Structure 1
């Protein structure tokens, strides 16, 4: 059934994306900087450029539009970033109990809508999207999420992640509908907005940070977690054990890191030693999957038990980045709310899935939610066959659409054009 094709297509896609990086891009770990020095380079003060000067920035800005110029991940260092980061920390703050209760409530609301008969077939990412749309709407506005707002958020976030995974082209008009809604609601947010941003930029900040990245990343993270639990029922049975569940999360983040490549542009020369140096303007690409696969026995197996006698901080494990180079602002919130969400799901249903579990998860995580009774083995067998077939045609779609978007982004140059006319703090420059 052409089972060889997806791997060949993935390799071809990798070559296409290598062309985007250009000659000054270097991926780590490699022979020059192995896993033992990966974090040393990642943490270097000069490895702090975010967007200006990298071909990859054009592609990511293209995917994240509108508003990538004020997306926290892509802001250059300086007062504007500091202002935005403060605002984000304020929105994401809260007691563990309050954060957990909100996650439980939002999960329960969506499950009440979705669960029908004894067996419900879902795509886990699709199941989780409205959960986190509800959650982050409450976090931003301090009130329950109206269905109109939820549909706009889910439509926008789904469009972004599908284009990122090259399973669909992007649809700017769909994204603009959420932009217009947030512009009307801007005065209703529950915390002060970044003062260094204009009103239009504040709208894009809300859209990009909370209703794009936060919703997408949490839906992806939960899809990976629930799919891992569906395929390892012995782990699912221990969901109420806090210590063990922490190991499950560590292992899920290790094996299925949400970031593939994080790129940084060197703002000065870096000399790690006499033989290892990188000139200013180099594009450093840090591969999370490659790094997370080093330093472990049987690294490609899902094994929460490996964390019984060690701590994640002592291993090759950086699911939220490194502390010295802008870690993900949700590093505290994510484990708290993921645990609450997973418990609400597993207290209601048993999870079963027979699909291939990959880091990129373009399948969106097909799964059966079963309330009581036997495992539907015939449906699982059919799911397995369908998943293998979808993998073949989807890989071709990803190659075609991915190439088209790479070429379109290269032609538009959204990041390059922005920095042609603005400095690193967003101020217009004269030539």
Structure 2
């Protein structure tokens, strides 16, 4: 009996070392099942990293949602309005109309875009950093910053606190469900939808909205593109940058002296911790790579950013911004904003400017300290200590706080891994049952037009 108890205690005490990795592997198997038999992940043994961007940018690798089982899951997570989310619109006039509007709303002089990011970051930091040391989760800290930022880009005015709370509640609900650390809450998301509907009806958006979309679709477009993807991705990117600086104080110290160094820090952070794990496309025609290799039409092409970013570098698992002194953009296996030939991120210009300005504002006020595990998906949301620069802590106290933070993070990771497995399974099954993308394309064409439910008459054919 005592031996059984001893073994059980050993299993429990060592769980932080082995359980999270096992659960991640199980979740990966689950998502492979969602992809189905027609999914092909790149790079692979046939299409290596040297041809990764060639396939990614192929003209036939342009399907977005129709025909992929994985789309049902993403539409489920991104509701409401995934059918007009810019990332998931099929190619054609409607996408072109939406993309023009997005570019217009994100445009502006670089110094103004930077100054806005600094102001938003400063306001939030003044609210949150009130003592000598503050424990935060970096993603949570950054969400109000980018909620205010995108609200002002869209509406041309500062973000009211009530609107900020609606945006943050919605964006947090989306990213929490995406990471399978919580279920989605449609009612919480609907509150933001109603706010945006009022603003759109009042004509408050500072640029004309896509004329190809209905009023409801225009609201969902704003919600999905700016107040979901924009807020979530910028918050995640900022959290990764700050956590990397917290764990590499030499990089943070150099950045404080040399603002130009930020480009290397951002490149290295996005290489090591890309915001996307897998980007999927559907082959709308055969893709003939050579006389031996043809990817069939209808294939679900899954492009693994982490695997691609880990090739072509010495010590790829090491955070080393200095490597970018010797790596040119052309030869680098590095696509933080996608590829130019296949819908790059519309914020490819704005993001570095805004991230640099916000990071500068953070480092002007605090030093960053963290001992937690830094992973690409960051389900922990980035626990970190912020210490006011004018009130530094003794090294001994920082070491104690760091040890406590590390222990807490390891045990949180055990519980969180189990939650992710359970909730991920629940949501995959629910999304499969709802079949949101599949049902939409059962009744609509790729431009959102309702399909006929009867064969056309001979007269309609001749017309």
Compute the TM-score of the two structures, normalised by the length of structure 2. 0.92
Q: Is structure 2 residue 402 aligned with structure 1 residue 383?
A: no
Q: Is structure 2 residue 341 aligned with structure 1 residue 324?
A: yes
**Mapped contact 1:120–1:369 kept (Cα < 8 A):** yes
Q: Is structure 2 residue 358 aligned with structure 1 residue 341?
A: yes
1-side partners of 2:332 and 2:277: how far apart?
18
2-side partners of 1:96 and 1:242: how far apart?
16
Size of the aligned set, in residue pairs, is 431
Counterpart of 2:54 in structure 1 is 40
Q: Is structure 2 residue 404 aligned with structure 1 residue 404?
A: no
Q: Which moved more, 1:45-54 or 1:366-375?
A: 366-375
2-side partners of 1:309 and 1:213: how far apart?
32
Unaligned 5+ runs, structure 1: none
**Mapped contact 1:250–1:312 kept (Cα < 8 A):** no
Compute the TM-score of the two structures, normalised by the length of structure 1. 0.99
State the SS of the aligned residue for 2:361.
helix
State the SS of the aligned residue for 2:49.
coil
> Once the 2 structures are TM-superposed, how far is the Cα of residue 275 of structure 1 from its aligned partner?
1.3
Q: Is structure 2 residue 249 aligned with structure 1 residue 230?
A: no
**Mapped contact 1:107–1:344 kept (Cα < 8 A):** yes
> Once the 2 structures are TM-superposed, how far is the Cα of residue 243 of structure 1 from its aligned partner?
3.0
**Mapped contact 1:264–1:284 kept (Cα < 8 A):** yes
Q: Is structure 2 residue 224 aligned with structure 1 residue 205?
A: no
1:421 to 412, 431, 443: 443
State the SS of the aligned residue for 2:354.
helix
**Mapped contact 1:118–1:370 kept (Cα < 8 A):** yes
2-side partners of 1:26 and 1:403: how far apart?
22
**Mapped contact 1:161–1:216 kept (Cα < 8 A):** yes
Counterpart of 1:217 in structure 2 is 233
**Mapped contact 1:255–1:292 kept (Cα < 8 A):** yes
Counterpart of 1:117 in structure 2 is 131
> Once the 2 structures are TM-superposed, how far is the Cα of residue 430 of structure 1 from its aligned partner?
1.0
Counterpart of 2:7 in structure 1 is none
CA displacement, residues 126-147 of structure 1 (integer Å, 9 cap, x when unaligned): 0000000000000000001000
State the SS of the aligned residue for 1:19.
helix
> Once the 2 structures are TM-superposed, how far is the Cα of residue 52 of structure 1 from its aligned partner?
0.1
> Once the 2 structures are TM-superposed, how far is the Cα of residue 309 of structure 1 from its aligned partner?
1.6
**Mapped contact 1:27–1:286 kept (Cα < 8 A):** yes
1:31-430 pair list within 5 angstroms: 31-186=45-200, 187-240=203-256, 241-371=258-388, 372-374=391-393, 375=395, 376-430=398-452
**Mapped contact 1:238–1:245 kept (Cα < 8 A):** no
State the SS of the aligned residue for 2:294.
strand
RMSD: 0.7
> Once the 2 structures are TM-superposed, how far is the Cα of residue 382 of structure 1 from its aligned partner?
0.4
State the SS of the aligned residue for 2:288.
strand
State the SS of the aligned residue for 1:331.
coil
Q: Which moved more, 1:269-278 or 1:216-225?
A: 269-278
State the SS of the aligned residue for 1:286.
strand
Unaligned 5+ runs, structure 2: 1-12, 454-463
State the SS of the aligned residue for 1:40.
helix
> Once the 2 structures are TM-superposed, how far is the Cα of residue 123 of structure 1 from its aligned partner?
0.1
> Once the 2 structures are TM-superposed, how far is the Cα of residue 238 of structure 1 from its aligned partner?
2.3
State the SS of the aligned residue for 1:314.
coil
